[in-house]
Structure 1
Amino acid sequence: MVTEQLKDGYDVVIVGGGAAGLSGALMLGRARRTVLVIDAGAPRNAPASGVHGLLAREGMAPSELLERGRAEVRGYGGHVVTGVVDAVTGTDGGFAVTMSDGRTVGARRLLVTTGLVDELPEIPGLRQRWGRDVLHCPYCHGYEVRDQAIGVLGTGPMSVHQALLFRQWSNDITLFPHTMPSPSKEELEQLAARGITVVPGAVAALEVTDDRLTGVRLSDGTVVRREALAVMSRMVARADFLAALGLRTAAHMSGMGEHIPADATGRTEVPGVWAAGNVTDLSAQVGGAAAAGAFAAAHINADLITEETRLAVAAYRNPFSAENEARVSELVSADRRHGV
């Protein structure tokens, strides 16, 4: 990643450099805001071979999509750096953002787009296949495993729904109940009606041959041939660094994990902090995350305009106030830097 000379402070610091963060930065750069994106460099979709369902970018490698996004943000004067944010604290002017290497920058507003972590069952071989032939989302990966022998690992109450979804892409679906609650009579009828096989017993490991999933091994030693396995992970937002602000994750209403609660614009319960993408919307795909980042950025810009207008009105009413004079001088200087 390109080395950037950081400023002491920015209008907006964005923590997380995925689709949501870079889209937000692009919107803010075009709004002539000073913006910094801090990216830890560990995107959730890194194991995937391509991004799917994103108009005009179908199948593009995740790394290429992000590199193009960084270039576009820099083209509007935005800064993008590699770093891990350890903590964010409140200041009189907004926030102090501290990275693990000791660098600290100021921010008037904060946009959190750190995404989430997928917590997977402790089954040998499962994590190594994640994003390849161990999948979670049929809309992200279903077409790539169409007509294959697909297994669904039962981990919770949504597993039957997941099996019924994957049936759209293949007529060879097997549900392994594993640790999920026993299917109800109605659910068993639905599965049977759709031709979905249910194989009871705990899953012990995956069978892999020549770097390809070939089967699922049960605790009794039985191996069921499968070419792909769908798993509903528990999704947890990356948000530990926000603890000093009193902003913590909460259980998502879907029961699928923990997120940072935010309103429709991305505004959180902490004034000056917005969130977008998977950190608040656990099921958002790349396109949805990008749209949420841009939408949140527009509202952040509007919030800054409201603040600047309030200060300008106060200075207009009392031009001899030292505090207002200093703030207006700062705003005028910023306008000149932007060529206004």
Structure 2
Amino acid sequence: MEQQYDVVVVGGGAAGLSGALALSRARRSVLVVDAGTPRNAPADGVHNYLAREGTPPAELMAAGRAEVAGYGGEVVEGTVTSAERTGDGFRVGLGDGREVRARRLLVTTGLVDELPDVPGVRELWGRDVLHCPYCHGWEVRDQAVGIIGTSAMTVHQALMWRQWTADVTVFLHTAPEPSADELTQLAARGISLVEGEVAALESRDGRLAGVRLASGELVPRHAVVVATRMTARAGLLTSLGLEPVEMEMGGHVFGTHIPADPMGATSVPGVWVAGNVANLQAQVIVAAGAGLTAGAAINADLIAEDTRLAVAALTTSGAR
């Protein structure tokens, strides 16, 4: 027989585990299915997470899994291959061939960073190739940082990173030529501008050595910043009728996400989302908060359904 859960949580990162923790503490039966491919796996530590500053991502997730299990939640490694609506909830197919039933779904599958097509970027991603100053700025403070330009947001990136170091160089690469006003801003902040395309990032002993230009020149840098296109992992949600939409900043599309209300509820009844699949800019602590919010909302929804069913049963028995 198919096992029945109140909630199946797809994705066991900060958002999924926080939602599962809230639901397990609310005495709901919860199954968390996690593929074990977190976005922040290459990072040395989680930052801006109060009282967890610098905790390695794997250590944080292991602690979260143990907390969920301590309240009766079930966490398994694997994938969810399918989800379809049934009369009273959802039938969920797992990668090991099992099928389970869920009254509600919480999807926290995160996003995928699409990296610029520059040799060396992928190999150094998450260590010396960075994207978020709030995540990594302190770790490269006062060091030589390069910004590889790929969009109209390049100058914005450079001005942001200038807060952490005075040694910032913009490699224009494929970004549009800065306006006269932007050039003035860069000059005023002491930010260098290098025209021409980047050929590759070169490393030495596994760490970044510098930026190799198409001209052949090597510009030494300790860290490089890139802009990624952030794409929601939404395949499962698409099968349920939810389509990702583009997200913009300053008129520039930087990714896709699944829209939801402030509590994480989507336009499909019974399906909630939390974390980066819904909010591309959410850091770990924000994703965890969103998971808690969604978990509480799901429990409230289930309470309302339980009450309706109890009232219906009482009315039926009283009519006999």
CA shift for structure 1 position 321:
7.9
CA deviation digits over 1:226-264, x for unaligned, max 9?
A: 110011100001111223211121111332101111111
CA distance in 2, matches of 1:78, 1:141: 33
Q: Which has the larger displacement, 134-143 or 204-213?
A: 204-213
* Candidates 309, 315, 320, aligned match of 1:317: 315
5+ residue gaps, structure 1: 1-5, 323-340
2:10 aligned partner: 15
2:265 aligned partner: 267
**Structure 2 residue 271 is the aligned partner of structure 1 residue 276:** no
CA distance in 2, matches of 1:194, 1:84: 48
% identical equivalent positions:
63
2:243 aligned partner: 248
**Is the CA contact 1:87–1:242 (under 8 Å) kept in the aligned structure 2?**
no
**Structure 2 residue 101 is the aligned partner of structure 1 residue 80:** no
Q: Which has the larger displacement, 272-281 or 152-161?
A: 152-161
CA distance in 2, matches of 1:285, 1:321: 54
**Structure 2 residue 281 is the aligned partner of structure 1 residue 286:** no
Give the alignment's Cα RMSD to 1 decimal: 1.4
Amino acid aligned to 1:187: E
TM-score (norm. length: structure 1): 0.91
1:97 aligned partner: 92
Q: Which has the larger displacement, 270-279 or 216-225?
A: 216-225
Aligned with 1:66: secondary structure? helix
Aligned with 1:101: secondary structure? coil
Question: 1:1-340, aligned counterparts within 5 Å?
Answer: 8-254=3-249, 255-319=253-317
**Relative to 1, partners in 2 of residues 1:7 and 1:79: Cα closer, same or farther, differing over 3 Å?**
farther
**Is the CA contact 1:117–1:238 (under 8 Å) kept in the aligned structure 2?**
yes
Amino acid aligned to 2:185: Q
**Is the CA contact 1:315–1:321 (under 8 Å) kept in the aligned structure 2?**
no
Aligned with 2:176: secondary structure? coil
**Is the CA contact 1:18–1:43 (under 8 Å) kept in the aligned structure 2?**
yes
CA deviation digits over 1:283-327, x for unaligned, max 9?
A: 1111000000000100000011111111222222222689xxxxx
CA distance in 2, matches of 1:82, 1:48: 21
CA distance in 2, matches of 1:203, 1:315: 69
CA distance in 2, matches of 1:117, 1:68: 24
**Is the CA contact 1:265–1:296 (under 8 Å) kept in the aligned structure 2?**
yes
CA distance in 2, matches of 1:64, 1:308: 37
Amino acid aligned to 1:105: V
Q: For this pair of structures, how many residues does the alignment match?
A: 317
**Is the CA contact 2:2–2:99 (under 8 Å) kept in the aligned structure 1?**
no
Aligned with 1:51: secondary structure? coil
CA shift for structure 1 position 47:
0.4
Amino acid aligned to 1:297: G
CA shift for structure 1 position 7:
6.8
CA distance in 1, matches of 2:96, 2:263: 32
CA deviation digits over 1:8-43, x for unaligned, max 9?
A: 111000000000000000000000000010000011
Aligned with 1:296: secondary structure? helix
CA distance in 2, matches of 1:158, 1:311: 53
TM-score (norm. length: structure 2): 0.96
CA shift for structure 1 position 199:
0.4
**Is the CA contact 1:208–1:215 (under 8 Å) kept in the aligned structure 2?**
yes
CA shift for structure 1 position 93:
1.2
CA distance in 2, matches of 1:171, 1:206: 21
**Is the CA contact 1:114–1:279 (under 8 Å) kept in the aligned structure 2?**
yes
Aligned with 2:301: secondary structure? helix
**Is the CA contact 2:65–2:75 (under 8 Å) kept in the aligned structure 1?**
yes
